Structure 1
Amino acid sequence: MLTPDYLDTLPDALVELWQQVEDDILRDIARRIGKMPDRDTLTDTAAWQAWRYEQMQACHQDVLSLLSRYSGKSKAEIRRMLLDAGLATLASDDALYQAMGFAPSAIDTNQALNNLLNAGYRQTLGSWQNLTATTASTVTGELERVLDRAWLQVSSGAFSYDVAIRRAVDGLATHMNGVTYPSGHKDTLEVAVRRAVLTGTNQTCAKLQLARAEEMGCEYVEVSAHAGARPEHAVWQGKIYHRGGAIVYDGVRYEDFETATGYGTGEGLCGWNCRHNFYPFFPGMSVPNYTADRLAELNARDIEYNGQKYTRYEISQMQRALERRVRRFKRQYLAEDAAGVDATAAAAKLRAARRDLNDFVRATGGRNNSVRTSVSGFGRSQASKATARAKAYEKEQERAILIERLRNAGNLPKTAQIHLTPTAIDVDSLGFDDEHINRQREHGVTSAQAKEWIKNAKISITVWNQHYERYIGEEGAVYVNLEQNEIRTAFSSDEFEGALPTLIEEMRKNGLLR
């Protein structure tokens, strides 16, 4: 029997290999999109069509070349996986048979088992080769689609050149089809390889197990169970079934193996992406591995997250979604960088996605799977650069939010420019309107005091069509007429009224004042 954990990690090496293929293709396409002609060339339909055709032909050839470099590694990895899995599942079942006094034949002397193993390899490899044979045309179709959309957006004036490029690249980073099934359904390379390899391996091992059961005369099997099973599988996992029809034995009814579990169908046991398996069982001799209470525990809503209870399956699906977000923004960052557009926003989204995933894993008691978030070309150097960009972006966003808070607190118009670092000014050269400040307004402020308040100001605000600069601090406020290079008014904090006290309080709340 292959355990659920074994099956979960079984395709990882091959998936990682083909994730690299997918990511390399994405960056190549992004570079091509980034070289899209400017708007003047785009309006020349003949020139645009010629460039577009050239890019599609080159992309098709590059993908074929890339696939050929990985085909040998894929064949070897598929053979290794099937052989390891086949030997492991037979060894597990044979240990149970031997404990019951049976003597299973060695696999190297059993031609029927070897034939099944080789047939499983050929079928799994053939399925994968049939899918990857569609990759070049599928990817070229994706390039054609995004180029045509970008051309329409730019030539019509709906979007600027840079925005159209970024939208095209981001769309592919989110989802780029890499294979086309005979039904016409399209999927990414990553999804297709995981499904093909996991399904092919599990089905091959199941056939080996059933052949061994026939050899040993075993009519009953117990199906494995695991937390996080999809609901339609949870109803039959962990139970004992009879091969060859439902039966009552020793007063106990055993349902038919294939009918109950859907074995042999894509939706059932050992079907698409299924991590369940089975093993021999002898009523009256074997001890069931799963009690009703244990199965209830596996299917229970016993994981708390954000004040609600979830099953392990629901939690696993939530984690998969968060993992896909991390990969998406890694790919988006690399693709935007390859296309020559600013990837700062993508870096910030990636940082937030990683934070969300880590928080979720800690809160739910799960574990991070680096394979599911890895992206070829995104190593330590790229991670460091992306993090630096994200931090700078977040700092700028925090700065923008603070400025808006100050604007609202000070009842300032949208045209007012708020500077968290006060605008530099030659204080010594400033004139001082003593007539207005002290005789008319009676503020009782000296020129030296006002200039000192400017030096100690925590923010400054440009107003009145950039004619005035207001310097605000804990000691007082000073308004400078920039055109006349003169302090027009100044007053101490004791005279703050209107919106100024609220502005000062907001500054204090945000650490701008002690």
Structure 2
Amino acid sequence: MISPEDMETYGYGHESIFLDLEQRILKDIVRRIKSTGVITRSADFQLNQLKRIGYSDKDIKEMLTETLKLSNEYVDKLYTEAIKTDYIDNKSLYEATSTDFIPFEKNTLLQNNIKALKKITNDEMKNLSRSLGFVVLEDEKTKAVKLTEYFQNVLDQIIVDVTAGAFDYNTTLRKAINAMTKSGVRWIDYESGYHNRITVAARRAVISSIAQMSRTLSEDTARRIGTNDYEVSAHANPRPTHALWQGLVFTRQELVSVCGLGSVTGLGGANCYHTYYPFVKGISVRAYTDEELEKMANSTPKEWNSKEYTGYEAKQRMRQMESNMRMYRERIALLKEGDGNELDIMNAQIQYRSCMDEYVRFSKAMGMKQQKERIYMDGLGKVGASGINTDNLTRKRNLMKGYQKAQKSGDISMLVEFQTYQRISDDIDKKIVGTTTKDGIMITGYKTHFIDRVIGQYESSDEPIKGKRKGVSIEMISNALQNGELKERPLTKSGLRSISYQTDECIVTINPDTGELIQTTPRK
């Protein structure tokens, strides 16, 4: 029989095909945004050059044709294999009730039904694919925009922003990517206004079709073997209303009156992976005992961050986190595709890793299995900073912000590379942080401004540059903290204390209450 877990796998397998389509569309948009950014920065920009990077119906049709071909192949193979397995699983009931069993390949009616079901699904995906777009926020209201229209709007806005100097390239790129990944490529019904991500629509199309065929098979088998009883499938952490009847045996009439078969919220309704199978009393054995079903319901709440979650609520929360992580992964990949600012990439990586860390901790606290395959089904591979945890990534992000600020303000030379800035930071960590001053204060840390002072505004200490401040070596700083003359400094406007350690070479200032290095100044 087809289990709820099988049903879920079938759906996500189809979703991954359309997820690839979404990524191809988004990456193509980003590549064209990148071209736009180059054109707007060039002196010979002309409006007719926009046509070279504009979207065309042909581009979209080519992508859709390839995707629908893969979808058709998936549906063709999946439906045959899944329904064949489901059908053959009933063979034992035929034998137990002395009923003739028609082999799968020779069951003409069944083969025709499968063929018809495949066509229905393929036609549905073809229809859905004809109406793609994005949902954007406009005047505080959401608005559905067709794919070609949205794409041209994005390019037009970027050209206006960059040429007018309203935003730089990286800002416009980041804005566009955040908007696209938040919405995702959507199927839009322009008559009703209803819209849904094409990936979700693809998953549901497969699940609903296979579930429908499975129910039809079950009812046909039940009629042939002469039973009116059915066992409903079961899975872990069902929604509370479904936990009341999953795994139990009902008559066909009770499937409707008790389980809500045919209703949106009942058996086989929206987002329901349950189905049902023929059950012959005296022959069939239930798949799960009442005790096992109670355990699967997982209805006793568990606490996480001062909030309680039942098993179903925890599962919904995990699905949400998985979706968020896929969004961040897309952002990282697209920012890299568009040669985005390294700081923007790191910010996205931090959000992704923070969400992943929470996902791992949450699943452990809830006693639930992590399903990272849902995250990695995007096929993007490793998009995070490999081998760097969230804390280290955050530190690198803060260093990058300090580095960019220092260059912009002129506190360090534009010739100083980020790798040098990071190396100086590492030296301070290794040689200064954790040491104790001559009066017993432990150095606990420093602001990025302290790195600026170590590097200085010019590199040569032998040839001073008028109006520029030279750097201070780590050795000079260490010597001052260990042997320098102590001087109490006036309180800051916010009431913070500071102490300076002075030698003939330099002055080093720290906060004695926190142990944080504030700044250093050369004396020669």
Task: Give the distance between the partners of 2:88 and 2:8, measured in 1 at CA.
Answer: 19
- Residue of structure 2 in register with 1:442 after alignment: none
Tell me whether 1:341 sits opposite 2:311 in the alignment.
no
State the 1:159 CA deviation: 4.3
- Residue of structure 1 in register with 2:207 after alignment: 198
Deviations 1:230-288 (A, max 9, x none): 23433432232222x3xxxxxxxxx3x23433334454323343211111123455444
The answer on whether the counterparts of 2:93 and 2:225 sit within 8 Å (CA) in structure 1 is no
What is the TM-score when the length of structure 2 is the normalising length?
A: 0.70
Structure 1 residues 129, 390: CA separation in 2 closer, same or farther (over 3 Å shift)?
farther
Tell me whether 1:313 sits opposite 2:333 in the alignment.
no
Task: Give the distance between the partners of 2:72 and 2:308, measured in 1 at CA.
Answer: 43
2:513 partner SS: helix
Task: Give the distance between the partners of 2:474 and 2:149, measured in 1 at CA.
Answer: 63
- Residue of structure 2 in register with 1:279 after alignment: 277
State the 1:145 CA deviation: 4.9
Task: Give the distance between the partners of 1:499 and 1:301, measured in 2 at CA.
Answer: 54
Gaps of at least 5 residues in structure 1 are 246-254, 410-414, 431-451, 459-470, 480-488, 509-514
The answer on whether the counterparts of 1:302 and 1:311 sit within 8 Å (CA) in structure 2 is yes
- Residue of structure 2 in register with 1:211 after alignment: 220
1:10 partner SS: helix
Larger mean Cα displacement after TM superposition, 221-230 or 287-296? 287-296
1:229 partner SS: coil
State the 1:32 CA deviation: 1.8
Aligned counterpart in structure 1 of residue 107 of structure 2, from 96, 110, 115:
110
* Correspondences of 1:4-403 after superposition (within 5 Å): 4-36=4-36, 55-58=53-56, 60-135=57-132, 138-147=146-155, 150=158, 159-181=167-189, 183-243=192-252, 245=253, 255=254, 257-283=255-281, 285-302=283-300, 304-306=302-304, 309-342=308-341, 343-374=345-376, 378-380=380-382, 382-383=383-384, 391=392, 394-397=395-398
Task: Give the distance between the partners of 1:70 and 1:490, measured in 2 at CA.
Answer: 68
Tell me whether 1:457 sits opposite 2:477 in the alignment.
yes
State the 1:108 CA deviation: 2.6
The answer on whether the counterparts of 1:117 and 1:208 sit within 8 Å (CA) in structure 2 is no
* Matched residue type, 1:354: M
The answer on whether the counterparts of 1:131 and 1:179 sit within 8 Å (CA) in structure 2 is yes
State the 1:177 CA deviation: 2.5
- Identify the structure with bigger relative contact order (alpha carbons < 8 Å, sequence gap 6+): 1
* Matched residue type, 1:193: A
1:327 partner SS: helix
Count of residue pairs the alignment pairs up: 439
Give the root-mean-square deviation of aligned CA atoms. Answer: 4.4
The answer on whether the counterparts of 1:345 and 1:390 sit within 8 Å (CA) in structure 2 is no
State the 1:383 CA deviation: 4.5
Structure 1 residues 191, 500: CA separation in 2 closer, same or farther (over 3 Å shift)?
closer
State the 1:427 CA deviation: 8.5
Task: Give the distance between the partners of 1:278 and 1:210, measured in 2 at CA.
Answer: 9
Task: Give the distance between the partners of 2:463 and 2:501, measured in 1 at CA.
Answer: 16
The answer on whether the counterparts of 1:301 and 1:309 sit within 8 Å (CA) in structure 2 is no
Larger mean Cα displacement after TM superposition, 370-379 or 331-340? 370-379
* Matched residue type, 1:32: R
State the 1:199 CA deviation: 1.2
1:210 partner SS: helix
State the 1:86 CA deviation: 0.7
Compare CA radii of gyration and give the structure with the larger one.
1
- Residue of structure 2 in register with 1:437 after alignment: none
State the 1:388 CA deviation: 9.7
Report the identity percentage. 24
Structure 1 residues 426, 455: CA separation in 2 closer, same or farther (over 3 Å shift)?
farther
Task: Give the distance between the partners of 1:124 and 1:232, measured in 2 at CA.
Answer: 29
Structure 1 residues 181, 96: CA separation in 2 closer, same or farther (over 3 Å shift)?
farther
Task: Give the distance between the partners of 1:399 and 1:477, measured in 2 at CA.
Answer: 34
What is the TM-score when the length of structure 1 is the normalising length?
A: 0.71
- Residue of structure 2 in register with 1:446 after alignment: none
* Matched residue type, 1:379: G
The answer on whether the counterparts of 1:33 and 1:169 sit within 8 Å (CA) in structure 2 is no
